[in-house]
Structure 1
Amino acid sequence: MSSVTNSCIFKDIFGSSTMREIWSDHGRTGYYLEWEAALAKVQARLGMIPQEACDEIVSQCHVENIDFDKLKQQTELIGYPVLGVVQQLVFLCRNNLGEWCHFGATTQDVTDSATVLAIRASFDLIEEHLDAIMASVAGLAETHRLLPMVARSNLQQAVPITFGFKMARLLATLQRHKQRLAQLRERVLTLEFSGAAGTLATLNQNQAMKCQEELAKELGLAQPEIAWHTERDRIAEVGAFLGMLTGTLSKAATDVKLMMQTEVGEVSEPYMPHRGSSSTMPNKFNPISCAYIHAIAGTVRQQTAALMDAMVEDHERSTGPWEIEWIVLPEAFVLTGGALKQAKTLFGGLQVHPDRMAQNLAMTKGLVVSEAVMMGLAPKLGRQTAHDIVYDACRAAIKEDQMLAHVLKQNAQVTGALSEDQVNHLCDPANYLGLSGIMVDRVLDNYKSSLRHY
């Protein structure tokens, strides 16, 4: 095993088979050939190469025609795979018609455009997974819109929220990622075809810009305003997006695995016999998908940093930084595909345990609503005075092992300001959910509206 993304054992745990195929040798070589075929078609239409040459080149632009053992040798010798592909393509074409292949292009034109084509296919896959995850999370938010649970601050119980609120927060974040993905398409899905130093000097200057424009249309990409051989902000932004997306999935997975702790038990990963089991402890049900998502996200963040380093390229064609992208971008996409696949499974079958949520809310015997009591007393006694009274009552409740409501009812200042029914109302967690339900509805409305829009 050289990497988990190509390990026979781990590749479909940490990665995605569909994403891996996009970035495989066959996948990327297929994009090289798609680019060469598109160039030939455009140049034939513009009268820059003979139609007969175009027809022959296009007929040979199939990945099954490439000898990959030979391509490996050629790449090791030359340093880049594109020229090896072109050489084989020229050889495959009859009557020397292959001499018209790659006309006026340079290696990086093909390599970068192929990368963009692979990114486009990857974006499609990411969007598909995102849509499935958002549908599951939206369902959880709607179903559990008003299911009370405890919020946690610094890992300590804070105030009540609802589980629907927690899921809606995640849904809103995923919606922002969907928006980022749409914006990325506009900036990133851009052709590269500009020749050795980016000036398109190899082509007749009356036809060069038209050729570039038509090639972009043929491939379904945007035409660049200027060459971007060593301006790598597009690729770096893609890396940043992958880091942010997997970071969001990891945050959600962290919450789930903390809520899965035996002492908490508020949710569980989808149950499958023997999944997450221990070799020595039959009682164990470990958060497997969460663990994988967390590991993947940590790795992708490092790859994001590497892609930022790849931005520092020299002059018009670089010496080394470009190749960083070759190393980390494919794996970053494959790992992101793996994280999305695990998250799809996780939220598609997440088990929610309302009884445990209720038990945990009651665990502190009312201390979880101390803020509610303070804010209920504040208009009558002043905020600081109310804070001090409730603070002392909390300490007493802990010391005496009593319900907070019971202690409050023994305090003359409290009973002078609030009735017994008001104290009971303030001490019920279900009555201190704030605007949880309204905020859930707002997120769900935005989500459903976006579905109609798309």
Structure 2
Amino acid sequence: MTSVTDSVIFGNILSTPECAAIWSDKTRTKYYLDFEASLAKVQADLGIIPEEAAAAICAHCRLELYDWDELRTQTERIGYPVLPVVKQLVKMANESAPGKNLGGWAHWGATTQDVTDTATSLQLRDTFALVSSSLDTIVNHLRTLAEKHKHTPMAARSNLQQAVPQTLGFKLARLLSTFARHRTRLCSLQSRIFLLEFSGAAGTLATLPSALALNCQSRLAAALSLTVPQIAWHTERDNIAEAGSFLALLSSTCAKFATDVSLLMQTEIDEVREPYGPERGSSSTMPQKRNPIGSAYVAACAATARQLSSALLGAVVADHERSTGPCEVEWIVLPQLCCLAHAALRHTADMLAGLEVRPDAMAHNLEITAGGVVSEAVMMGVAERMGRQVAHDLVYELCAKAREEARPLAEVLVEDGRVGLSKEEAERLCDPENYLGLSVEMTERVLRETAEMTRS
């Protein structure tokens, strides 16, 4: 094993079979051949190369015809994987009609970088189809949970301390809103990422007849279902870096959710739990444990994705019209980054699908401060009579007293004449369910807007 995508043990945990297949040698080489076949067809239609040559080229752009040992040997010798493919293609096309040199019309006007970049665009397109599907699944799960728990009270946390009450639906709606923004980002960046590269040696298409060159480029893009480039992008790698940054950002959102799940699974809190499975997250020595293993996988995937995406930003700094080194960084980084990001999404979707919510534990935890969790409500309730800062300092003092004496805050408030609250008023202000703010309304707004996005 040199990468988790190659691992028999970790391949389905820190990668996914579907994404790993996209970034395999076979798929990449298939896309090289798709480029060559589509180019030959388009150029024959335009009269740039003979019809007979295009037919011979297309007939031999089939993956099963290629000698993989020869491809490996030639790639090691030459340094790039495209020319070894083209050499075998030319040879087979020539042998199909001896003496006609039909293979000599293959790869006409193209350069290695054209084929490599186009294949990368096609692999990213396939990857982002997986990402889009996973995003839809996550959004649907979040919508279901947010709707179900929009009235379920729980403690919000600030600096790992209880802050004020909120609802679980509100907490999940914030995450839902974030994933909805990611889906918007995904839609907007597709035209910049799913981009054809066909520009020739230095990007000027000088080898083709000037009257036909751009038409050839446009038709080739259509044949491969890619966007026509405004200009060559051999060493303008912002599109690749943007794809990597998006995947890092998306997986980091998954990690934010995973972090919250891990914290809420702590024994002393126990408000949610990852989905149960026999021995899932069990310890080798402590039988009572149920570790947040899915959350751990997501965190690891996201942390590595962020590191890998920074390498793609470095690859943007390419020299002149054809770079010396930065492009090869993408060969190393993109397969791992895409597989890690898809794995993070898959684990997130699985956790949401079976998330165990414990409303009783949430209600219990809201009571452990004996009213302290709504001290802001008390402060604002008396602030109109004495000013906010004076009220803040007074309630702070009384919260400390209630905590030290292990007494309910409402009781301490009623006893202190400076506050001026009746027992009924104090109990009302100290009830967490009376201080949920607009948790429900905001959750419903997110649910409405994400429903509209789904329909559109």
Give the TM bin, normalised by the shorter chain: over 0.9
Aligned to 2:444: 441
Q: Distance in 2 between matches of 1:388 and 1:207?
A: 79
Aligned to 1:43: 43
Matches within 5 A, 1:53-452: 53-93=53-93, 94-95=96-97, 96-415=101-420, 418-452=421-455
1:246-292, Cα deviation, whole Å (9 max, x unpaired) = 11000110000000011110000000011111111111101111000
TM-score by length of 2: 0.98
1:88-143 per-position Cα deviation (integer Å, ceiling 9, x unaligned): 11122212322211111000000001100110111111000110011111111110
Aligned residue identity for 1:132: T
Aligned amino acid, residue 19 of structure 2: M
Tell me what 2:23 maps to.
23
Greater CA deviation, 59-68 or 80-89? 59-68
* 3-state DSSP of counterpart to 1:84: helix
Shift of 1:425: 1.2
Q: CA deviation at 1:21?
A: 0.4
Alpha-carbon distance in structure 1 between the residues aligned to 2:87 and 2:443:
59
Which amino acid is 1:53 matched to?
Answer: A
Cα pair 2:155 2:165 within 8 Å, conserved: yes
How far, CA to CA, are the matches of 2:402 and 2:269 in structure 1?
Answer: 22
Deviation at residue 180 of structure 1 after TM alignment? 0.6
Cα offset for 1:245?
0.5
Q: In structure 1, how many angstroms separate the alpha carbons of the residues matched to 2:400 and 2:213? A: 80
Aligned partner of residue 444 in structure 1, secondary structure: helix
CA distances 1:341-374 after superposition (whole Å, capped 9, x unpaired): 1111111110000011111111111100000100
Distance 2:53 2:233 in 1: 29
Query: 2 CA distance for matches of 1:105 and 1:196?
Result: 7
- The Cα offsets for residues 18-77 of structure 1, whole Å up to 9 and x where unpaired, read as 000001000111111111111011001101111122122112212122221111111101
How far apart, CA to CA, are the structure 2 residues paired with 1:3 and 1:207? Answer: 44
What SS does the corresponding residue of 2:6 show, helix, strand or coil?
Answer: coil
Measured after TM superposition, the shift of residue 10 of structure 1 is 0.5
Write the distance in 1 (CA, Å) between the matches of 2:167 and 2:234.
Answer: 50
Please report how far the alpha carbon of residue 378 of structure 1 lies from its aligned counterpart in structure 2 after TM superposition.
0.8
- Between the aligned partners of 1:64 and 1:291, the Cα distance in structure 2 is 40
Give the counterpart letter for 2:239 in structure 1: R
Once the two structures are superposed, what CA deviation does each residue of 1:278-328 show, in whole Å capped at 9, x if it has no partner? 111111101111000000111011101000000110000000011001110
**2-side partners of 1:6 and 1:422: how far apart?**
64
Amino acid at match of 1:388: D
Instruction: Confirm or deny: 8 A CA contact 2:410 2:423 kept in the other structure.
Output: no
Secondary structure of the 1:12 match is coil
- The whole-number CA distance in structure 2 between the counterparts of 1:224 and 1:4 is 34
Measure how far apart 1:414 and its partner are.
Answer: 2.0
Structure 1: state its 5+ residue gaps.
Answer: none
Report which stretch shifted further, 109-118 or 219-228: 219-228
Q: Secondary structure at the match of 1:150?
A: strand
